[in-house]
Chain A
């Protein structure tokens, strides 16, 4: 476990070495009435290559803002984000994004939805990745179905394929299973781990479910309410691949308990424990 205090970085070290690094980043929003709201101030975080990093924290603590900053959609007001030592100044096309809603285009078939990033990037799917990815997520045979013919879970699988089609270096997921029912959610968690096991990449994952965080993550970053800070970072020391049984180990409960305590201590128990 790392405290906040040892997350400070000297100027000379900026961005060097790490895969993704957020350095002293602040984001200030202008409100309608001319005031200013700080999403986060002097935020520091480093993400290692191929790790599964999960962010948990109260609603509106700037997690989505942080994700937008990491993919280069939103410049920080102060500070910087580095990807492999290079400052992120424009959208990173080698990242993939998944949101709470599947946001599929309703006039496109499953396959054509998955192909959207390839089209935008002006590439062709010469390796037939679309077909292989759809098979990987269990959508084989649904290629020409329309989104409205799919269940919520299947739509989200399609959205995951869309995020992976251009073989991104980093997969950014903003509460991807938040709109699904509890059973589908568990299943999607299993699926995601399976996909990740076969298609290893860096994942930055936001969730409100502590159990989901512990089950999926290599490290869980617990955030405080606005302006967001890192309350603590918990290393989850379960081996990979993760199995269903791990959820019933005493150690699992201890992780969940300690994360809940951190959140309750700092945020007054805003989070649901699932």
Chain B
């Protein structure tokens, strides 16, 4: 309701005060621009979508094993964490042009940026989750001569799920931003590219339209991760 009211207020004030469309288009202007642009919006959305997803999945594929490594050995933890921290301290926006030099104009550098931003919350949260079981339950398993594999399969991994999913929820929205940053630096397709292209021609309504699509994508992906989380750990948050 608040959201609809805000949209109406925006629409009304835009018309009453006669704000130029290239400065701040009204919601109707944005919808109009999107409809006018037509079918290639799907292509741009799709490109950004799969760059996001690929980067995100890559971050899971690498983040989870590294989280296990970090949990498993103090030595590995002391080696890996500083390295990860360095990669996190470098602003991705600054790093993106270099990726462009390395990997060219294709989709890959965007996927890499999406991966880099998503990686950190996944490894940190998963590692926290893997360490969350109480020392007592681990002692109980060890006293029963459980193998490391059993301890991970039966105790650490299920315990880590809620933390893993909070990492994923942060990571998925960051992945969208990462893909867009990648596109800003140099691209011929994607919603990020569309923002750059339309603003350079003062097609502000279209730039806003691309942002709306990006926001929608983010929200839907977040909702999807949250839904999977609820299905995977229904017990979480009900312990007390």
Contacts and interface: CB of A to CB of B under 8 A. Distances in A.
Contacts of B4: none
A103 B140 CA distance: 10
Interface stretch (A4-12, A42-50, A117-125, A191-199): A117-125
B145 interface: yes
Interface stretch (B15-23, B28-36, B214-222, B231-239): B231-239
Contacts of A147: 239
A165 to B, nearest CB: 10
Interface in A163-197: 166
A148 B238 contact: yes
Contacts, number: 60
23 contacts: A68-B139, A73-B139, A73-B142, A90-B145, A91-B143, A91-B145, A93-B143, A95-B143, A97-B136, A97-B139, A101-B134, A103-B136, A103-B140, A105-B137, A105-B159, A107-B158, A107-B161, A120-B141, A120-B144, A120-B150, A147-B239, A148-B235, A166-B144
A71 interface: yes
Interface of B: 134, 136-137, 139-146, 150, 154-155, 158-159, 161, 233, 235-236, 238-240
B1 to A, nearest CB: 34
A173 B216 CA distance: 54
Contacts of B154: 105, 116, 119-120
A201 interface: no
B17 to A, nearest CB: 55
B132 to A, nearest CB: 11
A145 to B, nearest CB: 12
Interface of A: 68, 71-73, 90-93, 95, 97, 99, 101, 103, 105-107, 116-117, 119-121, 146-148, 166
B136 A101 contact: yes
Contacts of B155: 105
A97 B143 contact: yes
Contact of A146 (B136, B137, B235): B235
A106 B236 contact: yes
A106 B235 contact: yes
B143 A92 contact: yes
Contacts of A97: 136, 139-140, 143
Given A105-B155, A105-B158, A116-B154, A73 B238 contact: no
A147 B239 CA distance: 7
A95 B145 CA distance: 11
Contact of B142 (A91, A101, A121, A146): A91
Q: Which of B136, B140, B150 is most buried by chain A, counting CB atoms within 10 A of its CB?
A: B140
A93 B240 contact: no
Contacts of B144: 91, 93, 117, 120-121, 166
B138 to A, nearest CB: 9
A148 B238 CA distance: 6
A215 B150 CA distance: 39
Contact of B240 (A71, A91, A148): A148
